[in-house]
Amino acid sequence: IAGTAALLIWAVRLVRTGVERGFAAPLRFWLRHSAKNRLLAAVTGMGAAVFLQSSTAVAVLVSNFVAKGGVATAVGLTILLGADVGSAVVTQLLMVRQPILIPILLLLGVAVFQRANGSNRQVGRILTGLALVFVSLNMIRAATGPLMANPGTQTVMAYLGSDLLTAFILGAGFAWVVHSSVAAVLLFVTLAAQAVLPVPASVAMILGANLGGALIAYVLTLSAPLSSRRMIVANLVLRGGGAILVTILISAMPDLLHRLGPTPARQSINSHLVFNLVLAVIALPFVGVLTSLLTRLMPDTAFEDNPLLAVTALDPNALERPQRGLDCAARELLGMGQKIEHMLILVEPLYDTWNSAAAKTIGDQDATIKQMHLDVKLYLAKLGQTGLDEEFGRRSMELASISSS
């Protein structure tokens, strides 16, 4: 069982890696240009999670956009809610039992991977990964068969069925360890389908996996700017808090699960989809209120209010050492380029909705960039006064030209 679970985890990662390597640019484009309305943003997030088979990967991508100002925090949270629904849709698709799919996907996947080039080669990786997901699920079904008659297994699983809090914690912990809520949910549903895991325990572990998946994104973005962390924290509170409340509800009213499907597997997997879908529908109208509340609870620091304040790379002590001085000027130019990129990203949303605060920030950035340009030229002029040989002089002229352009 451990070996088949490892294959499942690796297969899901293989699919995600293929999508990231072959189609990362289109995904970034769709996510960045989905800010026109909330419904489009949610649908885009759902589609991205289906392709990446991971809402965590979508969260990290969107976090980068929010940090750079290309996507507003409220829009980012909307995308994440859609991504949570998308990860639930993925589990529905991967639980389809069609044995003929395995050899077809393997044949096509290996053939495409061996013969294609560029992004088309990654299609082969994706198809092979999907085939291995189905293989691992079949192996789990075969491996868990003997456990059904084992008294020890029945005792442990019966205990989990009566102690949903422990099941919830185990589900969250397993999703955290494997860093994939999709793989965790597929494993729990398969165990429920084999009658190894009681349905209430399976659903509690699936809900725990939702908390674990949201916690992964939170930890991965701890070093991100505060604007993007607010979005991740909001998603963690919604998804994790909602999972805890639903677990308490199921503990009090376990008969509700019978309405989700005729079989244990269907009840388990449908609970995952229904939970994320209902959560998205309830939370979407209030994403603006939630982000405003988190802005008050997580206020910007003085430095983050003005991220342009930074230590200059133009070291006056390096003027006597031409090589080091030119390296300092090059690093300062790199910082100029990053600030120009950030300014241009902030400009685009103003064509749709005017924001006076954003416009002021752009103006401040423009003034800062002009000052940096002047400082670089003066620094290079001082460096030239020390006497440069032909090679250093040519490099100094190139840096001055880059600064002017």
Tens digit of pLDDT for each residue in 84-108? 999 899 888 888 777 788 899 999 9
Distance CA 358, CA 342 (A): 12
Lowest mean pLDDT among 117-126, 219-228, 238-247: 219-228
pLDDT of residue 303: 41
What the block records as the tokens of 388 is 């440069």
Per the listing, tokens 């949910």 go with: 185
Can you tell me the mean pLDDT for 172-180?
A: 85
Alpha helices (H) along 253-385: 264-283, 287-297, 302-305, 322-347, 356-385
Q: At what angle do helices 73-94 and 181-193 cross, to 10 degrees?
A: 30
**What are the tens digits of pLDDT across the range 103-112?**
999 999 999 9
Q: Could you tell me the CA-to-CA distances from 127 to 11, 124, 131, 144, 174 in Å, in that order?
A: 10, 5, 6, 26, 26
When comparing pLDDT for 274 and 354, which is higher? Answer: 274
For residue 78, give both structure tokens. 């909307």
Answer whether 131's CB lies under 8 Å from 109's CB. yes
* Structure token pair of residue 231: 């979005």
CA quadruple 320, 321, 322, 328: dihedral positive or negative?
negative
Among the residue ranges 139-153, 209-223, 278-292, the one predicted with the least confidence is 139-153
CA dist 233 and 334 (Å) reads 32
Residue 305 has pLDDT above 60, yes or no: no
Q: pLDDT-based confidence at 210, cuts 50/70/90?
A: very high
Model pLDDT, residue 300:
63
What average pLDDT is seen over the chain?
83
Contacting residues for 266 by C-beta, under 8 A, at least 6 apart:
260
Residue 373 scores a pLDDT above 60: yes
How far is it between the farthest Cα atoms of the chain?
87
- Taking Cα atoms as reference points, which of 98, 110, 74 lies closest to residue 294? 74
pLDDT digit string, tens, across residues 286-298: 888 888 888 888 8
- pLDDT given for residue 344 in this prediction: 80
Dihedral of alpha carbons 262, 264, 267, 269, sign = negative
Q: What b/e string do you get for 282-293 counting C-beta neighbours within 10 Å, with b at 16 or more? A: ebbeebeebbee
Question: Residue 141: pLDDT above 50?
Answer: yes
Mean pLDDT of 335-354: 78
Q: How confident is the model at residue 308 (pLDDT cuts 50, 70, 90)?
A: very low
What is the pLDDT, as a whole number, of residue 307? 46
Residue 121 contacts residue 111 (beta carbons within 8 Å): no
Region of residue 195 (phi > 0: left; psi between -120 and 50: alpha; otherwise: beta)? left
**Res 10 pLDDT > 70:** yes
CB 380 within 8 A of CB 400: yes
pTM above 0.75, yes or no: no
Residue 390 — pLDDT band, cuts 50, 70, 90? confident
